[in-house]
């Protein structure tokens, strides 16, 4: 009986199939590490979570939101606004606005208006306060450069002169009493090369 099993054509055919290159290829495909990894992933909790997220995403996409429209507007008519009357300053005018000359011109105008309002027994005075606590009783201010100011006056009763950047100087304007009307003194301003006594 053992001889029959050994020579059984069915067993021989199965053995040949089991040893054939086709069977080995199928076994290799079934044992492929990538395929095993994909099978493990498809059965993993992460895949289930991703599937649930896709379902949620599909549900969200299926929701019909109302269409939101932005309000529209037209640009105003520039002619109607009469913008042609607006003066846009030139670079020179912008620079002049920041210059020491403009600062001194405005200060001179303010001192002149102030002097006209004061009684004859009083006069305006300027005290220049500089870095480090230096105080100068101003007799004359001069524009020395775009941002520079020359201050002439007295410090502790001694004549002095100092050149400073306008941003480092504070000018305190105050009123001082005059004993005699004739002794009222003026403050000199030199702006753009022109000297004015106020």
User: What average pLDDT does the structure give for the chain?
Assistant: 83
Strand partners, 137: 127, 154
Alpha carbons within 13 A on the beta-carbon side of 34: 2
Q: How far apart are the first and last CA of the chain?
A: 143
Per-residue DSSP letters for 50-110? Answer: HHHHHHHHHHHHHS-PPPP-----PPPPHHHHTGGGPPPPPHHHHHHHHSHHHHHHHHHHH
Place 148 in a pLDDT band, splitting at 50, 70 and 90: very high
Give this prediction's pTM: 0.52
**What is the per-residue pLDDT for 1?**
46
Residue listed under structure tokens 């208006």:
113
How confident is the model over 53-75, as pLDDT tens digits? 888 888 888 887 777 777 777 77
Measured N-to-C along each axis, helices 33-42 and 45-62 cross at an angle, to the nearest 10 degrees, of 60
Spatial distance between the Cα atoms of 161 and 87, rounded to a whole number of angstroms: 40
Q: Which of 8-12, 149-153, 156-160 has the lowest mean pLDDT?
A: 8-12
Spatial distance between the Cα atoms of 55 and 51, rounded to a whole number of angstroms: 6
Where exactly are the structural domains of the chain? Answer: 2-62, 93-197
Q: What percent of the chain has pLDDT over 70?
A: 90
């Amino acid at each position: 009986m053992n001889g029959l099993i050994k020579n059984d054509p069915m067993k021989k055919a199965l053995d040949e199939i089991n040893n054939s290159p086709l069977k080995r290829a199928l076994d290799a495909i079934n044992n492929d590490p990538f395929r095993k990894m994909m099978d493990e992933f498809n059965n993993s909790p992460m895949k289930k979570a991703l599937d649930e997220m896709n379902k949620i995403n599909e549900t969200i996409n299926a929701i019909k939101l109302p269409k939101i429209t932005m309000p529209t507007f037209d640009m105003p008519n520039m002619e109607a606004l009469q913008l042609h009357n607006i003066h846009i300053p030139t670079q020179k005018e912008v620079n002049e606005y920041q210059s020491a000359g403009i600062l001194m011109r405005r200060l001179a105008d303010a001192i002149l208006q102030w002097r006209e309002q004061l009684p004859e027994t009083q006069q305006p005075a300027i005290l220049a306060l500089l870095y480090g606590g230096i105080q100068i009783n101003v007799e004359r201010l001069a524009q020395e450069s775009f941002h520079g100011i020359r201050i002439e006056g007295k410090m502790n009763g001694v004549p002095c002169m100092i050149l400073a950047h306008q941003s480092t100087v504070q000018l305190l304007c105050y009123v001082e009493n005059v004993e005699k009307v004739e002794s009222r003194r003026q403050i000199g301003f030199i702006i753009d090369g022109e000297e004015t006594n106020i």
